[in-house]
Every structure is written in C-alpha cells, then in structure tokens.
Chain A
Amino acid sequence: MNTAPLLAVDGLGKAFDGLVANRDISFVIHHGEIVGLIGPNGAGKTTLFNCLAGFHTPTTGRIAFEGRDVTGSTPEAAAALGIARTFQIVRVFQSMTALENVMVGAMLRNKRVAEARDRAEEELAFVGLSHRADTPASDLTVSEQKRLEVARALATEPKLILLDEVMAGLNPTEVREASALVHRIHQRGIASIIVEHVMEGIMPIAHRMLVLDYGAKIADGTPAEIAENPAVIAAYLGE
C-alpha cells in the first residue's frame, strides 16, 4: 500500500565555506530496505547523514520523507518523523547508565518514565546489552557504546535508522553479530542506511549500495554490481 518511497533525496548538495562535501546526490530508500553507503574517507557520508537527520541544512536539493518535504528541518523534528541516527564518534550520555541512555530515546514516544524504562529494557535486550543495563555508559567499551547508540536510536521507534560506522574497530565475531543485528532491525520493518568501511560486514546483508566519492554519488546498485563497477574500483584504488 506504500507506493511512495520512504525517503527520496533529489539533487542534494552541501558546501562549507567553499568546500563542497555533498554535490547533486539523488537516491531513494524504500520501506525496510538495508542500504550500504560507502566511499573513501572524506567522501561526504557523514555530511549526508547530517543533512538527512536535520543537523545540516542542505545548500541545494530536496529531501522528502514519506512524501513530505523535510529539507532543512531540525534534528528533533526529523527524530519525531521517524529518522534516527547514531554518531560516528560515539556520543553516549556519560553521566547516565546504559538503561537511562536508552530511556531518553524511548521518551520521544512516551514521556512516562516507568513505561519508557520498560521500552528501554526491551531495546537493550534487542542489542544484547541487558547485562550492562545499570552500568554507567562511560564504563562501557567503545563497541558496547556503539550498540548502546543503536538501542537508543531504536527506542525512538524510527522508520529509518542511519548507522554511521557501527562496525568500525570490531573483531570478526563482533562484525558478524553486528550484521545479524542489522538484519533483525530490517525484520522489524525499519529501513537502514549504513555507512561502513568494513566491507565484510555490509556487503552480505545490504540490499543495495550507494557509493560516494568527492561528495558525489558515483554508483547505486546491488553489492555484486558495485563490486564490479569500474568507477568504484577506481575511487578506492585512487585513495
């Protein structure tokens, strides 16, 4: 019944005092889709996330979420509409426990503390951090903090989640677990865009891949197509 794409980005560009971080990027994301977003360092992936989540106002182009124009909205408005994100450099609430971190996310939909706590416990369990619920977030390992950010984002009941390098620095077992987590997010009907340098983590699970280079989209296709795309290979070799 949902024929309109979940997210439609059209001609998006973002410049910082002359430095163009995103240029003329267009793509769509469908409901529940898992989309990988890759590209060399500084390609503009995080900038794109910042535009989608309302942290940056795009210089050009439009962003439509569920058919509604959300270009230049605020982060809090984006979150309310159902766009959640994690941060490449983790930003957990240091003075709170893991559970309390997730509760803050859950409070977007339910301001009652007790109910937000129940919801947060479910999400902690979902990412496998139940045993750390009462641990101060600052005492978690970095990989646990990244998972905590995922739980916190999921607690806002998003329709689209933007994951920025959640697999960076993980060992192979942990990467597999993270891939499984992304798959379970997909099973909940939540679409995800995943920025990742860890190809083994993203290629097997992504339905589609977007590739950025120097701020522009250079490829958009299945992981298999991307792996053979000459422009992509050139971008990575030229790094």
Chain B
Amino acid sequence: MIKQTVVIVGSGQAGFQTAASLRLEGFEGEIILFGDEPGLPYQRPPLSKTYFADADAQRLLFRNADFFQRNRIKLWDNARAARIHRDRKEVELEDGRTIAYDKLVLALGTKNRELPIPGTRLANVLQLRTLKDADLLRHAAKNASRAVMIGGGFIGLEVASVLRGEGLEVSIIELEPRVMARAVSKPISAHYEQLHAASGVEFHLEESVTSLTGNKKGEVEALTLSDGTRLNADLVVVCAGVVPDIAIAQEAGLAVENGIRVDAHLRTDDPDIFAIGDCASFVHAASNRLVRIESVQNALDQAKCVAKNIAGQKGAQPQAYDRVAWFWSDQAGTKLQIAGLTGPADQWHVCQSDSPEKLTVLAFKDSQFIGAETVNNASDHMTARKILSGRDKVSFKDFESSGFDLRRLAREKTRTG
C-alpha cells in the first residue's frame, strides 16, 4: 500500500493529540504537524491558573522534543497556513512553502474577539490565549496595582482570581446581568459572584466599556463604562470571548457555520479534510443542535476520533463522535465542573449539600437530564458523566424517586440497563 501523508494545521490541544493518536492507532504514513506559535505544543488551561505562580513553561508541554522524533512526527513551529488548494491537495504557508496532503486536519482553534472601541492598542491592554500572552500578562501584573477584566466568563474570572492572589485590586466588567451567563445556571453564577466578591473582586454587571484612555506614555490609565462611570486601571485584560479562526477554511470554500462545519465523523464537506476542536461545529447527537465546543475534552476526544477514522482500514465503518462533553475551571480556590451540554436547559434543580463549599445543580430539558454543574464535588461530576454516557435517558422523575442521589441513580440505571 502507498503510504499516505496527513497534514495537521494548528499544533494546539487537538492538533497535537491527532498526531499522537494517529501513531497509537498504528498509522504508518507521514505526519506533518505545524502551527503558527513558537516552540513545542503546550497546554493552555494552566496559563490562567498555575502558570501564573510557577512560570514553568516546561511543565506546560504535551511532550518532549524527543517524543516527536521517536514517533516520526514532523513538527514545524512559526508556520502559518495561508491557503488551502483543494484542487491540488496542497496547503500553502505564509512563507510560500507548499505541502501536499492526502488527508488534512484543521485544528485552528480560536482567536480573541476584538472590541470595537477606542484604546485597545494602548500598552497594558492585554489578552490571554497563548504562552506569549501569559508571559506578557505576568510581567505587566508585577508592575500594576489596579486591574480590570473586560468580560466575566471563565477566563476573566480565573485571571481575576490569580491577580487578586498577587495583591492587585481587580474589577470585572460584564455585559450580562451575571457572570458566566452563557455557560452556567443562575445558582452557579451567584455562588461565584459571592466567592469572588468575598475575595475583594468588584463587579460591574450589565455594563460595557465604551472607551479606554491612556497617559502620555501610551499606557492605559482608565476605562469609561456605558453608564459614564470612569474606572482607573493600569492593567486591562480583554476576555470578551473568542471566535473560531477559520478564514482559510472559508476561503477554500468549505462550509462554515459558527465554525468549520463537520459531519458526525468530523469530516468537512471535502472528504479529505477534517476539522476538530475549538474551530469545528457539528450536530450534537444527544440534543440535535449545532454546537461548537471550547474545551480540552472536546479537543482530545475529537482528535482521537479523527485519528481512528484516518488510520482505519479502507472500507471500515467510520466512527461517529459521541462523547459526553465535560469542562472544568479553577476559580477562587474552588473546582467548578460541568458535565454535558446544559445550554438548552429549561429546568434546574439545586441538590441539597452537606457543606457550604459544595454545590450540585442538575440541568433538564423537557424533563430529561442533560447535564450537571458541580462545585468541589468531583464525585457528583463523575457520576453525572456516567449517567449521561449510558444508553437510557434519565428523567426528572427518576431523580425524584432516587431522592436526587446521583450515585444511587447510577447504580439503579446500570443494574437495569
């Protein structure tokens, strides 16, 4: 058999895992993995968490350089794809090089949403996506005393926590009436608003920033909010969400819809091109909705699925992607975890808790269990995942009759199922 070449664009969580999993699946052809960042592929989650304290970049790496050699994975850094020539099955890099592929995997991730307001180019107005961003932020934080987060989502809150820990005064500006509004239920938002407020974080909810102003040196000095309030700041972190980084897919004529559109096997409308991770949108089988998920779990599991489908024998049934989504966040000294996709929930149930530090909130849609949010309760989280990955649907009534005891319910379900 002629050996195939798989080219993977984007060497983040999903791109790296695809390369590693292809070898685990016994793929023997050539693997070229490239991305536009410098250095070896690394993990992003610690950037807004432990990296702040330890600044140990080596700890972030997925693998040593040795691993790539041993596994015959050609890794190119500082290489950005400019165009995909589908007719010739080639990727053209910004530096003019071209690479031919048999199969192409797009793992392009996201880029930060830019704010359409004056002043975002001032010094000390930063963002956090890459290791380089994290180093700039750590450095700026050393000389700052008043930080403002624009955006109260996961990353905004994690960074707020870390900066409070460094002794900075911290404010958060959030457009929605509550933090993490698009991702979690009201009880969880309220829990975290309370925790962060107790640690000294100040909130400006239902507010937006209309402009940033700087001093003579071109450093940020203040923000103006939509209600006219002026906040002084010597460090501003823009964490106002991200958008998929998919211009090259769009220009190549691939279908896009809030991300690169893929089918159940993570294939785009070109049978030789796949898309995975933060940049891909797909129909979530359990809820029949088009989703794009930004999480480590999604990136990892989609990478494994794509590797199976590429390395699989000709004629073998391709594998459909159907893993239960889960996510975590570290904030204010607590562990927040989400199992399942709770977006469409129309009913929430807050479970009784044996400790004020623990919280479990269950999500239902049309009386069916679709997910759980937990604070400091890893065992409820893991049990919820077990229930969600089972074949049987579980209803609100099932929970009622088991006294909302997740473990009991899981035992009952596995016994009958």
Partners in one complex: no
A interface residues, Cβ below 8 angstroms from B: none
Binding site for A on B (CB under 8 A): none
